[in-house]
């Protein structure tokens, strides 16, 4: 098993190496080119992805064509369209690589089978859901009522990697402001 994934599991539930090795066969390594899509809006999401290197982003496009980035997963994080994975309905979001990206992916059905049968994976899943929920909530809470400067400052404090590593266009779509506004703000910081 890839050390990053082993670390991930062990941080949640300290177990011996051999007790998680059996999970290895479920995960397949795959590398995607920069800008390649792992999932497009309307497709049913079939995998859960664990990022080994690179970066995934989940984003939606509204009727005017404006992109809205909802989640960014760097190395050591799981990323997928949970809403589609859970419901087995077409996703309303896209998953795309922002860099050349290597992932370990696991089939939806294998994943939920493990959630049902393996206490470790049940716990891992619970933890993913709990942190996804908390993170999302915190972001809504912190953003609602915050003006655009406060949003940029929030990002500087909480996820500086996003600001330093990704393009302004992506950052702006993550913050819910226009690239113009972001550019003006950065000039003032």
* Site of interaction with DNA (CB under 7 A): 34, 64, 147-149, 167-169, 176-184, 186-187
Which range touches a copy of itself (CB under 8 A), out of 9-17, 22-30, 45-53, 122-130?
122-130
Judged on CB neighbours under 10 Å (0-12, 13-18, 19+), 167 is exposed
Find the binding residues for a copy of itself in span 126-185 (CB under 8 A).
126, 129-130, 132-134, 136-141, 144-145, 176
Q: Which does 126 bind (CB under 5 to 8 A by kind): DNA, a copy of itself, none?
A: a copy of itself
Q: CB 60 → a copy of itself: shortest distance, Å?
A: 6
Burial 35-57 (b: 16+ CB within 10 A, else e): eeebbebeeebbbbbbbbebbbb
C-alpha angle 65/70/76, rounded to 5°? 135
**Distance separating alpha carbons of residues 104 and 30, to the nearest angstrom:** 6
Which one, 119 or 160, has the nearer CB to a copy of itself? 119
Quote the distance between the C-alpha of residue 35 and its chain's center: 15
Locus of tokens 């992916």: 105
**Given the rule CB under 8 A, which residues bind a copy of itself?**
60, 62, 64, 66, 68, 70, 82-83, 86-87, 92-93, 115, 122, 125-126, 129-130, 132-134, 136-141, 144-145, 176
């Amino acid at each position: 098993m890839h050390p990053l994934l082993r670390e991930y599991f062990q941080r949640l539930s300290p177990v011996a190496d051999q007790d998680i090795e059996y999970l290895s066969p479920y995960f397949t390594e795959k590398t995607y080119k920069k800008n390649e899509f792992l999932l497009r809006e309307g497709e049913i999401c079939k995998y859960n992805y664990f990022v080994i290197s690179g970066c995934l982003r989940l984003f939606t496009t509204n009727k005017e064509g404006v992109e809205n980035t909802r989640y960014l997963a760097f190395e050591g994080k799981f990323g997928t369209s949970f809403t589609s994975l859970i419901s087995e309905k077409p996703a309303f979001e896209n998953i795309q690589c922002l860099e050349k990206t290597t992932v370990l992916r696991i089939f939806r059905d294998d994943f939920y089978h493990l959630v049902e049968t393996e206490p470790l994976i049940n716990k891992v899943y619970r933890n993913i859901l709990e942190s996804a929920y908390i993170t999302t909530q915190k972001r809504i809470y912190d953003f609602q009522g915050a003006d655009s400067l406060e949003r940029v400052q929030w990002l500087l404090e909480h996820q500086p990697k996003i600001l330093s590593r990704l393009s302004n266009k992506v950052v702006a779509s993550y913050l819910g402001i226009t690239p113009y506004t972001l550019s003006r703000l950065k000039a003032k910081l």
